[in-house]
């Protein structure tokens, strides 16, 4: 795994290791007794000897990594001696000749159990078609369901790897960053580790899209002085009022993270300058023991809204109903000076500790067990998912991910019991959440006394009464509209899906369809179809079609579109040279693609070793990466494509870096959306600009005007992203145009 083995550590290495260990020691507080400090020292000396002479890619002694992970576990998460020892030892079994039995004999069963949960499976134990990433993650979660410390240490391990990612090869940086964004950042969020979640997201963006990351970072830095001035102006009257009331408090400005800013720019389609909530003001106070924390938080809220007018729809009470990850606070958005909306967060010291350190902070506040109970409920859901024998590792990873990051709603039973569900949950999800039998026999519900179908999406505050029938049985169609992993696993269990039977059915369906087109089901043909559906192998394709999850009529459309593409001037998918030989259109070049080198995208009509992904439709010049569907074929995705994110998280070993050459001949269909104030001649100006640009052709122009406002859509053929950006810049200079944006998905 690491290189540079030598017999002895140099004096410089020894000094560096001693400095890191001293940093770890300084993080200990009253949690760590003298006896525990001796145990930790013993673990350090053992691990140092076990890893002696091994170097990281950065050139540092390998032992630096476990010590740094232990420091994060101690200082940033706040765990105790057992976790610190396990963090120091977490790579010993995987990377040296020592065994779990050695760990147990030297450091006890608990430490050995945690280390086992953190140790990856060997290559021999993973099936040929399974994703190692997914299987290892499932193994880790099996231990998590018994001991949450496993995942907390794994998050610390991932955080240190992300902090030192610059020494890795570019394709590995992409894989690790995407995996972090897909699974580990949401996991930190779910466990309430806000600070770690934020850093993981920012570091992932830094390596996935360095230009975007650096641009936002620069903009934030350049506005710092003005921001500080506005914050001081805003908090001065609040400080005076809180001091007058004798409240012991701290007040500070919290800058929105780089990733959050980028995410909002993407989801809302706005520029950096249009994001109004770059700053939030946080008030953390020491409560008076004689009154409830909730009442004191609302008293402070009242003081603030006496000074600044609140935005009526932006008061969030996370104290009465805490978030599922234990987060408690009052949020209010108010109109501050200079006409800017400002979010204010009000917390007690206890709430603040939980917000930053998540469930680990509850060791300090054992009197309040509400959040631990919530954690127990979440762990119980994971146990149920792990017990489902039908789900393979990739399916499990998808279902687990589904329950991590979704925003939550609160609904009520007829007797007033509160139930937390992910946003988008349906009547059927609610039924399975209450009881499996209720889900299996559900036929609908009365929601707020109105009859609704099983597929109805619930809203926060709904009161739900499930209606059942003894004759009702689970239906495979339910899987198309339910959202929770629990409901999905229960339906699949009820069916006891026979994987072999579905594989055979899927194989027959595909072979029959291909036969109709005189195409043999060669491995390359199947790889193309598998890649189209973003699946990992042909068995998965057979199973999905056999179970009815993929409409096999789609295959007919794919094949038709591929036949047409040979005659099209503009790219859709190119597959070969001969027009009359159906099998040749799936032929691939013999030359293998080197994963370690950057894949160069050439503008060559004869090029058959890459295709552009339909999910994100990249155009030349955009930041892209490649996903190897075979040793000699690659699918090109945009770096911020959600499908690519998933592929990197499940099959990171197939990801390669990719770069465009200059594209000048072939054109790519692109859709622009625009709006602004209507005036005579504006459409003519827009079309004139496009027609004067030699390298852009119009396919369709559509405009709609109402009440003096126009909305328009342009379907254009362009050569590369540079030409597109020039066009957008020219269009934005037209008087009356307010916004021009590119829409991602386009059907030709």
Alpha helix (H) ranges present in 245-369?
Answer: 258-268, 293-307, 349-357
Among residues 95, 104, 241, 349, the one annotated as catalytic is: 95
Q: Which two tokens stand for residue 296?
A: 């004191």
Q: Which two tokens stand for residue 6?
A: 């030598």
Q: Catalogue the E-assigned strands of 23-91.
A: none
Q: State the pairing for strand pair 279-286/341-348.
A: parallel
How far apart CA 133 and CA 523 sit, in angstroms, is: 24
How far apart CA 555 and CA 541 sit, in angstroms, is: 11
Phi and psi for 401 in degrees, rounded to 5? -60, -40
Q: Write the CA distances from 221 to 218, 226, 539, 570, 719, integer angstroms.
A: 5, 10, 51, 43, 35
**Cβ neighbours for 416, distance < 8 A, ≥ 6 positions apart:** none
How far, rounded to the nearest angstrom, does the alpha carbon of residue 554 sit from its chain's CA centroid? 28
What single string gives the DSSP state of each residue in 502-535?
A: HHHHHHHHHHHHHHHTT----HHHHHHHHHHTT-
Q: Write the CA distances from 571 to 48, 326, 563, 575, 720, integer angstroms.
A: 57, 50, 12, 11, 13
How far apart CA 552 and CA 562 sit, in angstroms, is: 16
Among residues 2, 36, 94, 384, the one annotated as catalytic is: 94
Q: Three-class SS string for 619-631? A: CCCCCEEEEEEEC
| Catalytic residue check, 95 | yes
How far apart CA 253 and CA 235 sit, in angstroms, is: 9
Q: Catalogue the E-assigned strands of 143-268.
A: 248-255
How far apart CA 114 and CA 87 sit, in angstroms, is: 9
Q: Which two tokens stand for residue 56?
A: 């990281």
Query: Which of 712, 598, 699, 639 minimizes the C-alpha distance to 262?
Result: 639
How far apart CA 748 and CA 741 sit, in angstroms, is: 19
Largest Cα–Cα distance of the chain, in whole Å?
Answer: 87
What single string gives the DSSP state of each residue in 703-740?
A: EEEETTEEEEEEEEEES-HHHHHHHHHHHHTSTTEEEE
Q: What's the CA angle centered on 603, arms 600 and 608, to 5 degrees?
A: 75
Catalytic positions are: 94-95
């Amino acid at each position: 795994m690491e290189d540079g083995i030598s017999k002895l550590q140099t004096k410089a290495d020894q000094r560096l290791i001693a400095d890191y260990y001293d940093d770890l020691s300084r993080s200990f507080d009253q949690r760590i007794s003298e006896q525990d400090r001796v145990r930790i020292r013993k673990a350090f000396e053992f691990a140092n000897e076990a890893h002696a002479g091994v170097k990281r890619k950065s050139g540092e002694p390998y032992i630096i990594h476990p010590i740094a992970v232990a420091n994060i576990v101690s200082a940033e998460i706040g765990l105790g001696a057992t976790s610190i020892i396990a963090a120091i030892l977490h790579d010993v079994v995987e990377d040296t000749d020592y065994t779990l039995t050695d760990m147990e004999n030297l450091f006890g069963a608990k430490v050995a159990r945690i280390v086992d949960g953190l140790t990856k499976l060997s290559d021999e134990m993973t099936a040929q078609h399974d994703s190692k990433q997914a299987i290892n993650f499932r193994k880790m979660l099996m231990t998590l369901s018994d001991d949450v410390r496993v995942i907390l240490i794994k998050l610390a391990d991932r955080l240190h790897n992300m902090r030192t990612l610059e020494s890795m090869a570019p394709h590995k940086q992409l894989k690790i960053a995407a995996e972090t964004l897909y699974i580990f950042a949401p996991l930190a969020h779910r466990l309430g580790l806000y600070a770690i979640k934020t850093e993981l997201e920012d570091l992932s963006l830094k390596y996935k899209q360095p230009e975007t990351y650096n641009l936002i970072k620069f903009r934030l830095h350049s506005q710092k002085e003005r921001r500080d001035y506005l914050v001081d102006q805003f908090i001065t009257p609040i400080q005076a009022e809180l001091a007058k009331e004798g409240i012991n408090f701290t007040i500070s400005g919290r800058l929105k993270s780089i990733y959050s800013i980028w995410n909002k720019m993407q989801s809302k389609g706005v520029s950096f300058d249009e994001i109004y909530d770059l700053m939030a003001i946080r008030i953390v106070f020491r409560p008076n023991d004689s009154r409830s924390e909730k009442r004191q938080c609302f008293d402070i809220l009242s003081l603030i809204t006496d000074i600044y007018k609140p935005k009526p729809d932006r008061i969030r009470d996370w104290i009465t109903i805490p978030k599922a990850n234990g987060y408690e606070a009052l949020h209010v958005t108010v109109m501050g000076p200079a006409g800017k909306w400002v979010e204010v967060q009000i917390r007690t010291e206890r709430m603040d500790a939980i917000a930053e350190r998540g469930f680990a902070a509850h060791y300090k506040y054992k009197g309040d067990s509400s959040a631990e109970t919530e954690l127990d409920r979440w762990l119980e859901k994971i146990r149920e998912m792990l017990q489902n024998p039908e789900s393979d590792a990739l399916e499990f990873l998808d279902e687990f991910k589904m329950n991590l990051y979704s925003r939550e709603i609160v609904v009520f039973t007829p007797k007033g019991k509160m139930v937390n569900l992910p946003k988008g949950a349906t009547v059927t999800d609610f039924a399975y959440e209450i009881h499996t039998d209720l889900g299996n026999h559900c036929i609908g519900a009365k929601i707020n006394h109105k009859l609704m179908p099983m597929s109805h999406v619930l809203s926060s505050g709904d009161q739900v009464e499930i209606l059942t029938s003894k004759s009702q049985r689970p239906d495979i169609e339910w899987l198309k509209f339910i959202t929770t992993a629990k409901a999905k696993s229960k339906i699949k269990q009820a069916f006891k899906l026979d994987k072999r039977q579905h594989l055979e059915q899927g194989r027959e369906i595909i072979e029959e369809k291909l036969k109709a087109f005189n195409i043999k089901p060669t491995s390359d043909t199947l790889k193309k179809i598998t890649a189209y559906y973003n699946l990992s192998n042909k068995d998965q394709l057979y199973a999905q079609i056999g179970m009815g999850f993929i409409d096999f009529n789609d295959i007919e459309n794919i094949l038709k579109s591929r036949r047409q593409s040979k005659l099209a001037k503009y790219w859709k998918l190119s597959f070969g040279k001969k027009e009359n030989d159906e099998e040749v259109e799936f032929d691939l070049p013999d030359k293998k693609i080197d994963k370690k080198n950057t894949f160069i995208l050439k503008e060559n009509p004869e090029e058959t070793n890459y295709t552009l992904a339909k999910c994100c439709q990249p155009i030349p010049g955009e930041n892209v990466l490649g996903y190897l569907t075979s040793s000699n074929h690659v699918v090109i995705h945009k770096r911020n494509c959600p499908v690519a994110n998933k592929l990197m998280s499940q099959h990171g070993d197939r990801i390669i870096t990719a770069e465009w050459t200059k594209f000048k001949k072939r054109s790519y269909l692109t859709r622009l959306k625009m709006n602004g104030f209507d005036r005579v001649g504006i459409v003519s100006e827009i079309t004139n600009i496009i027609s004067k640009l030699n390298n852009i052709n119009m396919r369709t122009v559509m405009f709609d005007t109402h009440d003096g406002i126009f909305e328009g859509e342009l379907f254009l053929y362009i050569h590369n992203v540079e030409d597109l950006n020039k066009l957008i810049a020219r269009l934005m200079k037209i008087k009356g145009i307010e916004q021009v944006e590119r829409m991602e998905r386009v059907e030709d």
